[in-house]
Structure 1
């Protein structure tokens, strides 16, 4: 396997400037701080293949969707994240020649992402007919001041003659999305201001006809240089501003420039005057602080995150690097600071999937944040859905149904995905959102949310399920036709087991919660006795397809009618299927994109016997091609649960190093952010066997053969528990919080 980056526990580093893998390098060296982020594209202009991308949290655009008249209820637009004004631009000119790494003679190249300190550094020596110099760039996006970007560049003269240097820090509004139609742009420049060593650009998203907000961004840069002098420069274009710093360097002499940018958006200010005032105020605060002070505040905040979340692995540096890369990018995308934001599948690392919110958040991200972060992080994710209930009502009404249908993809609660078979058939996401409420409640012990806002969400989801099912009088059961389960290589099927099971479970759980709400909440929900009786009847008579001969759950009606060949029979050159086969051929095949039945067994892992889990794993795993980034982790947990330790480890490697090793061949488009939960899930729920049963935390660890030890911290109901596993066994320590009893492989352990 060709690796673009070297193996190191805390770093993603390469010494090879590979022009063919430039986009891959950009994806894997992305930075973010929850508020904003960017791919690891170069600061200076690059004439080769590149995908520059700067993205602002919560800033998006409703792109027109065109479909035939017969698709009533189809979304009016496809929501998409848009490439923001480029505020990291910084060109280097040496003896009159602008540096271009695609064209120039480059040596001593190093690109390094320091995950511990969340800083990207790039070093190279450039040789031109007229100059030779070493150039060092570094940048970070502060998590102490989320509106702050800090960059530095150092140029050292390596020639024996004097070197004329010009550095051109800029803010450039001439940007577009790669997926834009007819090269359309999404920003209009409202105002620019260029001073000698500073400048600003205010831009607004172009008008739309769908009633969704226009967003305004304002960006202010200040620059400081050593051994260079600021000089006046003409404004490059009407959409860009730049400063010019020039100087002459003696041999071995260096020049330095530091660029600070404050980025604010109209999401946080009511008027443009407020926007500008807020921007200036933030810049005034950071201008009083040194680079070292700003960087320390940033790294101290990251250190707190790592103290809670780091998984240390001894004996396997590839595994160690993989899981840290996962957690670093997950936290760079979201850490719960804003309940208006959520976690896009690509985060700040690319445009694919539009950047909206998917069901991935509730199904895969919530379990990880519950284990490694303050409960308020998940609380904000739950509030995100609660605050978008009006959109969920609209989505259900568009389909002629009662209750709330939460969207498959959204920015504002309104469905904005443009594939019918997923948008309106992959409705299991309603159940995944309900399950997230349950997960939050059982992990934290906090029932205030579920008895108030959560009860409202559960009730409206239950009303949807009760209207979406239909009664089959011949079989005396309730069924659900025309759905798509988590396995998107099956569309428009009848009675997907996972969807039916989640609907049944949601109705049952909602009835249980309604028994505990107070009179005021019950009055607001207005669930009648007749409605409760109907829900209970559906629970009692929900159809769940099985096959008694194989003793397995059926993924959906008719699944066994397919030609059942294991995925090992697929020629290697035809993988991944979604890049080689027609959609028709995929739909007719037995091959599973990601866990479907296995997804349900993972969610409700204690509700099935070891024999049931083994029979279903043995049947479905050989048919699964794992072409969803979400797939390997849950299969790894099930493999651990049934004692398939080697298989569990194989699948862990695939999920932990999915992007680092570019398993699916699509990391050039951006990282799989929501799937970066997979490494933690496979270790903690899989290898360590972590479960919550009857309000008690349980562990049943094993040590993978390649490892000599692993260690992590688990948050649970106000406690922080350190778990260490090695050849001698498992050690548990209570780091903070009240004493509690934990079950360790069947033995009660009292922690104080």
Structure 2
């Protein structure tokens, strides 16, 4: 299969030529979403070839009972499945009683599919010869409205080219759907009612176990050559299906079209007894506007998003397409409107991994949303974790921790842990540190301390209590150690003293102690409330500090580097360059036993710590560790290339930084890991943004000042990006000779550029 079939284009994802082998991959790549719902790019008409059907509603999930061979105490009861929701996009098409199905057509030519990222719509066009020899031209356009986020719209046009034909459109709703990803092949949905009224149809259904009530709805109107046709459709239904039939005798070269509006109302947003009423209201707004006006509104909504979020790259179309693809999907996945939602690793593009929230949000996504939206959006993501604090304390209690120690879940929908692999669930505890780091990072960037006394300090106390209890004193080392963990490198399980885990544990405790003091001094009422609730005491803080001050960090005098974990040098240290290419990716070629014994690193591990805490290490230390660990890194995690790109740029290794950038930005477009058919890597897309802004742009916050150290790959003529820093918007434009800064706002801002203070004034261009 051609993995590089997407045509380079600055603003669109384009596929030309119909290849059934690429259908599943394209269904992922051309996915659309609006924050409230999303769907894979399945065809509207019937397709009998291999396909992965997928429509998803934000926040709706099913607790699929854990399936393991041997139960262990502390195992989560279930794995939260992202649910394939009832399908509303379907439109069966028959031409003289012959079904339109690209898999069985005699010929398909001029096939073209486009995802226009600038304007937020998906289109398809082709000419097909059916089994009955009638040739038809088809054009479709589809989008999920950002303005009316319960509604999507489809324009489906068909033109018979070589004869007159009787054509039937059969728009339908289908709740008889199944998940690709399921432990026990359970039935996830219970259809409650199928009904219709005029041209509208409704299927009310609820999820089993979790009882999310939904109404899937549709309304359609047909046209001949653009003129509305008044027709009384036939309605049919069964227990899971509702469909209308619109039949018309279409002359040769006449265009028969249907506008279909559909979507979901959910009891997360409405009273469960009023979902049909809410659906009618949404349909009324959509049909009153009409397809053309709704599409115009969509273009304007996306223009507003791009005005702030766009990154331009001159002279490198593949790099430009890559970053826009990443930014587009991040905005389709999470809008920031709803503090009960989060950013799942597949977004609305597939079902793998389950759950909606990983440490990826805090480690990778918050910087993107902080800088490209209002800071309230990032605050919502932190509020989400505060709202789950009680569950995090329960999760820790299940593993034997006490006194309010909190262990945030590796994977969750509602705050409960729902990841089923013990080496991740019990051992990948560094996720706790990312949540504390995000609190620190949010305050560092926004200057908004208010989150901490209101909510964040309680989260920090729970996390610090966990680290204090998770470490134990080693008499042999005369230090505190953390045993039996999996670091960010998931190709090492159950190892001792992962440097990154130990380092972030120490940092969390130190940061929490410092923050308690700050709240005590400046926010007395909040401190009293929190101290009363958590029963924090001076004696407890002293015990924490004893652990933090005496934490063990494995180090090799011979190699002059910190060790990723105690046993790293016991491995056979063969670099990736000396690994037979036919053995890659090792996670698809090797046994787990062989991977665990190898020196190969899935993603930045120790280097992740040096990325987070770079101000604690010299550039020479970073270089030494980068040179030691990167040659063993296989980058088989989507989260790997971005961190390495940022660090390579910091070390002035621009060719390497550029290579890593292309890999992170085109990870899915070029299907580096041979898995794009399962869905996209949404959370790592935020890392792509960081690799430009923090990597090439060198953006940091140092000493409460926004700082830049701009660099540019030789492949680019120039690039530019915007950041919203403390309610002032700065545009940074870098080319091969100079960097320009422009400020929107009403007051001057002093920034640092290559270590020197520079004051920029509103609407005046500063060139350096």
TM range (shorter): over 0.9
1:202 is displaced (CA, Å) by 0.6
Which of 550, 554, 558 is the aligned partner of 2:559? 550
In structure 2, distance between residues paired with 1:674 and 1:52: 22
2:161 is matched with which residue? Answer: 158
Describe the SS at the equivalent of 2:122: strand
Cα deviation code 1:572-624 (max 9, x no counterpart) = 11110110100000000000000001101111112110110000000000000
- What is residue 732 of structure 2 aligned with on the other side? 723
Hey, what does 1:583 align to over in structure 2? 592
The more displaced of 229-238 and 442-451 is 229-238
Q: Helix, strand or coil for the counterpart of 1:516? A: helix
Which of 216, 220, 226 lines up with 2:217 in the alignment?
220
**Structure 1 counterpart of 2:422, from 414, 420, 423:** 420
Query: Offset at 1:232?
Result: 4.0
Residues 482-526 of structure 1 show CA distances to partners (whole Å, capped at 9, x for unaligned) of 111000000001111111111111111111111122233323233
- For 1:319-360, what per-residue CA distance to the aligned partner results, in whole angstroms no more than 9, with x for missing partners? 000000001011110121111110110000001101431111
Alignment match, 1:593: 602
Q: Secondary structure at the match of 2:451?
A: coil
Gap change, CA 1:714 and 1:633, over 3 Å in 2: same
Pairing 1:391–2:391 present: yes
State the alpha-carbon separation in 2 of the partners of residues 39 and 50 from structure 1.
Answer: 10
Corresponding residue to 2:454 among 445, 452, 455: 452
Residue pair 1:54, 1:86 contacting (<8 A) in 2 also: yes
Query: C-alpha separation between the residues in 1 aligned to 2:449 and 2:181?
Result: 44
Offset from partner CA, 1:377-414 (integer Å, 9 cap, x none):
11111011110111101110001013110000000100
Q: 1:193-204 maps to which residues of 2 (within 5 A)?
A: 193-204=195-206
**Aligned equivalent of 2:65:** 64
1:334-373 equivalences under 5 Å are: 334-373=334-373
SS in 1 for 2:452: coil
Corresponding residue of 1:238:
239
Among candidates 579, 594, 618, match of residue 627 of structure 2: 618
Task: Output one character per residue of 1:88-112: Cα deviation in whole Å (capped at 9) or x when no partner.
Answer: 1111111111100001021111110
Aligned to 1:328: 328
Determine which of 653, 669, 693 is the counterpart of 1:684: 693
For structure 1, the residue ranges without an aligned partner over 5 or more in a row are none
Query: Which residue matches 1:80?
Result: 81
Distance (Å, rounded) in 1 between the aligned partners of 2:282 and 2:668? 36
Does residue 266 of structure 2 align to residue 269 of structure 1? no
Contact 1:194 1:235 in 2 (8 A): no
- Which residue of 144, 153, 158 corresponds with 1:141? 144
Matching of residue 45 in structure 1 with residue 46 in structure 2: yes
* Partner SS state of residue 171, structure 1: strand
Give runs of aligned pairs for residues 431-510 of structure 1, distance below 5 A: 431-510=433-512
Moved more, 27-36 or 288-297: 288-297
Aligned to 1:520: 525
Aligned to 1:400: 400
Does 735-744 or 228-237 show the bigger shift? 228-237
Alignment of 1:529-544 (within 5 A): 529-544=538-553
Cα deviations by residue, 1:240-292 (Å, 9 ceiling, x for unpaired): 1111111112221111110111411111223x322222222222222321223
- The answer to whether the 8 A contact 2:496-2:566 is kept is yes
Q: Which deviates more, 239-248 or 308-317?
A: 239-248
Deviation, structure 1 residue 229: 5.2
Alpha-carbon separation, structure 1, partners of 2:82 and 2:471: 34
Q: Secondary structure at the match of 1:268?
A: coil
Decide whether the 8 Å contact of 1:346 with 1:355 is kept in 2. no
Deviates more, 1:617-626 or 1:286-295: 286-295
| 1:436-491 Cα shifts (integer Å, max 9, x gaps) | 00111011000000122001100111111111111123432211001110000000
Give the conservation status (yes or no) of the 8 Å contact 1:734–1:751.
Answer: yes
Structure 2 vs 1, CA of residues 351 and 118 (structure 1 numbering), >3 Å: closer, same or farther? Answer: same
Matched, 1:248 2:253: no
* Between 677-686 and 20-29, the greater mean CA deviation after superposition: 677-686
**1:229/1:247 contact within 8 Å kept:** no
Once the two structures are TM-superposed, the CA of residue 68 in structure 1 deviates from its matched residue by 6.2
Tell me which moved more, 715-724 or 465-474: 465-474
Size of the aligned set, in residue pairs, is 745
Name the residue aligned to 2:11.
10
Instruction: Specify the alignment match of 2:669 in structure 1.
Output: 660
TM-score, with structure 2 as normaliser: 0.95
1-side partners of 2:538 and 2:166: how far apart? 83
For the Cα contact (< 8 Å) 2:234–2:246, is it kept in 1? no
Pairwise CA distance, 1:644: 1.0
